[in-house]
Amino acid sequence: MIARKAEKTTNPVPERRAPLDPDWWRGASIYQVYPRSFQDTNGDGVGDLPGITARLPYIAGLGIDAIWISPFFKSPMKDFGYDVSDFRDVDPIFGNLADFDRLVAEAHRLGLKILVDQVLSHTSEEHPWFKESRSSRDNEHKDWYVWADPMPDGTPPNNWQSVFGGSAWAWDPRRRQYYLHNFLVSQPDLNFHHKAVQDQLLEEVRFWMERGVDGFRFDACNFHFHDRKLRSNPPASAKADLSTVRVGNPYGFQIHKYDKSQPENLMFLRRLRQLMDGYGVVSVGEVGDEDSLATMAQYTADGDKLHMAYGFKLLTDDFSATRIREVVSEFERRIKARGGWGCWSFSNHDCVRVATRWGGGESNPELPKVLLAVLGSLRGSFCVYQGEELGLPEAEVPFERLIDPYGITFWPDFKGRDGCRTPMPWTSEAPWGGFSTVEPWLPMEKRHLGMAVSLQQKSPDSMLSFTRRFLSWRRTQPALQKGSLRFLKAEEPLLVLERTWEDQRMVAIFNLGSLSSRYTFTAPVQALTGHGLEGARLDNRQLILPPWGSFFGSRSPLYCPTPGPAPREGRAIVWVTRPTTTLSWPWMSARTRRRIPPSSSTSGRLSASTTPPGTLLPMLAAMSMAP
């Protein structure tokens, strides 16, 4: 087994500091950066690591907790970084290791965590391990990949299909065997049944932890193991969930019982978690499976495998309040007994942007706002894909400019992933919007120029301004970050949920339709403000929501968001307008007792310095002053 030493750089590796809150990831907001399209600083038309570093203040200003950076490792780029030829080096188009170290140091200075993509299930065909493995049946790496003899008639050993189309087996004349590739032919799958492979991959992960990263996103993490007996997959039924691929892809014609999601993966994930726990880093796994919610729950159960996981059930064309409620409720049911944690997203680098996918051809500026509010209100952590904070629609990329092999194969039924990967519009200046000084690797969408950062940051009503307000406000709401979740009954298109954390009981209502909607509360509700969503009208217990409107309220008098009137005689109501110290009276119960500074008043507004703004101290709400 080849185990390389970590390469030295002229920039010192950042010193790791233990986070003040080891559970910071629970309820965290994660911003996904696709490096090729974020910011070009060297004039080659491709984004790079220095470009990410230069834009870190922008990301921090959104109110984001962490950044997930898609692959930047050395690669022939046939799948744009998800085909790794060197796990421990930066591809020259993105920079070098010193650039990465500077990025991590600057992110930490700004209070941001860094998660890097790790592609462990497969490598590039250009990786030295595979080059040696395919050279003969007798070498050090001969068993590091999944090799199989042909059937007597020369056909592949079974019926397994590739996600990107066609058989998952490719013939190699040197070994006179087939090798497994769940994705492109140029992405051979590693053999996780060979312990040396597991050991080496753990060392590749350790390399980046020692460079100071805060966590990982593990790509295709349920593809690690295959069935040793190479049994063929059964056919899919008409009711099978095909959310991982588009209709028309033969991959969806099978139930993938044997080519992924094997039970042996649980032990490897435990080994991986044990290693990560030693460094205090976190993980989120991508799960592409027919029953992805069950696999997500299994991979995050018991606190000894992945910290978080996400699937594709909310990355499809299906859009309704019912769909969101059913998906999230089912996951909550799955994790109830053994624990677990989801990481939700509505967009990423592999699917059509949500503003287009769920917008139905509309360009209503309120739709992206309500979707972000929903995303930030579900129990779990969540990812915001670059440009989602601008409300960007899917870009139109003509066939002659397509470079995604997935899209080229299935055109025109499926146009591929290029439309969600086009360059970030920083300015409205044509032709390249501040992304680069030369023609970018993918075309700049003209509609995106009119939605550029430089324009939106000037408008208080823009999606960008809303994103900053909402994410900052959300940080002051513990119920939205770590609270329990309960969905309430409501007719389409309303999504109604309740989040509870200690004494905070919050209700959120979202109108996922293009017409106004009404909702009637069964008990008094106090409207919450500061989140940036305007237009909802609350009249006693009757709520009127505009199209794509949202409402946040407190169901309990113990938690109120804004200063209120002076208290009535004989009652104590303390409204907190700024962070406060704690309070105490002798007649309070042990549960509600706090300390109060001698200079504070019980009959007016109290201001001091330690609890979140907008918090009404629960033990003071409508309590009698009488001893």
Identify the band that residue 237 occupies on the pLDDT scale cut at 50, 70 and 90: confident
Contact indicator for 188, 168 with CB cutoff of 8 Å = no
The helix (H) or strand (E) run that includes residue 105 is helix 97-109
Q: Is the pLDDT of residue 620 over 60?
A: no
Q: Is the pLDDT of residue 614 over 90?
A: no
Number of Cβ atoms within 10 Å of the Cβ of 4: 13
Q: Between the CA of residue 26 and those of 175, 312, 336, 481, what are the distances in Å?
A: 48, 20, 16, 7
Residue 85's pLDDT is 98
Q: Is the pLDDT of residue 624 over 60?
A: no
Identify the band that residue 243 occupies on the pLDDT scale cut at 50, 70 and 90: low
Residue 583's pLDDT is 36
Contact indicator for 388, 424 with CB cutoff of 8 Å = no
Which residue, 352, 330, 353, is CA-closest to 342?
A: 330
Contact indicator for 459, 468 with CB cutoff of 8 Å = no
Task: Please give the average per-residue pLDDT across 265-291, as a whole number.
Answer: 97
In terms of pLDDT, which residue wins out, 354 or 600? Answer: 354
What are the pLDDT digits (tens) for 417-475? 999 999 999 999 999 999 999 999 999 999 999 999 999 999 999 999 999 999 999 99
Residue 362's pLDDT is 72
Identify the band that residue 175 occupies on the pLDDT scale cut at 50, 70 and 90: very high
Which residue, 612, 523, 615, 607, is CA-closest to 562?
A: 615
Residue 585's pLDDT is 34
Residue 360's pLDDT is 81
- Work out the mean pLDDT of the chain and round it to a whole number: 88
Active-site amino acid positions: 219, 286
What domains are there in the chain, each with its CATH number?
Answer: 29-121+194-225+260-472 (3.20.20.80), 482-554 (2.60.40.1180), 563-627 (no CATH)
Residue 5's pLDDT is 42
Exposed, middle or buried by CB within 10 Å (0-12, 13-18, 19+), for 271? middle
Residue 242's pLDDT is 64
What are the pLDDT digits (tens) for 310-369? 999 999 999 999 999 999 999 999 999 999 999 999 999 999 999 999 998 677 899 999
Identify the band that residue 557 occupies on the pLDDT scale cut at 50, 70 and 90: low
b vs e for 12-30, b when ≥16 Cβ sit within 10 Å of the residue's Cβ? Answer: eebebeeeeeeebbbbbbb
Task: Please give the average per-residue pLDDT across 125-153, as a whole number.
Answer: 98
CA 425 – CA 433 distance, rounded (Å)? 5
What are the pLDDT digits (tens) for 147-173? 999 999 999 999 999 999 999 999 999
What letter would DSSP give residue 624?
Answer: E
Q: Is the pLDDT of residue 594 over 50?
A: no
Q: Where are the alpha helices (DSSP H) in 316-462?
A: 321-335, 354-357, 366-375, 405-410, 446-449, 453-456
Which residue, 96, 116, 117, 94, is CA-closest to 107?
A: 116
Residue 158's pLDDT is 98
- Identify the three-state secondary structure at position 362: coil
Task: Please give the average per-residue pLDDT across 124-141, as a whole number.
Answer: 98
Residue 569's pLDDT is 30
Residue 608's pLDDT is 33
Identify the band that residue 560 occupies on the pLDDT scale cut at 50, 70 and 90: very low
Residue 234's pLDDT is 97
What are the pLDDT digits (tens) for 43-76? 999 999 999 999 999 999 999 999 999 999 999 9
Q: Is the pLDDT of residue 124 over 60?
A: yes
Task: Please give the average per-residue pLDDT across 101-116, as a whole number.
Answer: 98
Residue 19's pLDDT is 57
pLDDT above 90: percentage of residues in the chain: 81
Q: Is the pLDDT of residue 82 over 60?
A: yes
What are the pLDDT digits (tens) for 489-516? 999 999 999 999 999 999 999 999 999 9
* SS3 assignment for 436-466: CCCCCCCCCCHHHHCCCHHHHCCCCCCHHHH
Q: Of how many residues is the chain composed?
A: 627
242's CB contacts (< 8 A; 6+ apart) are 236, 252, 290
Which residue, 390, 452, 443, 447, is CA-closest to 45?
A: 443
Structure tokens at 175: 């070994």
Q: Is the pLDDT of residue 406 over 50?
A: yes
- This prediction has a pTM of 0.87
Cα dihedral sign, 126-130-135-141 = positive
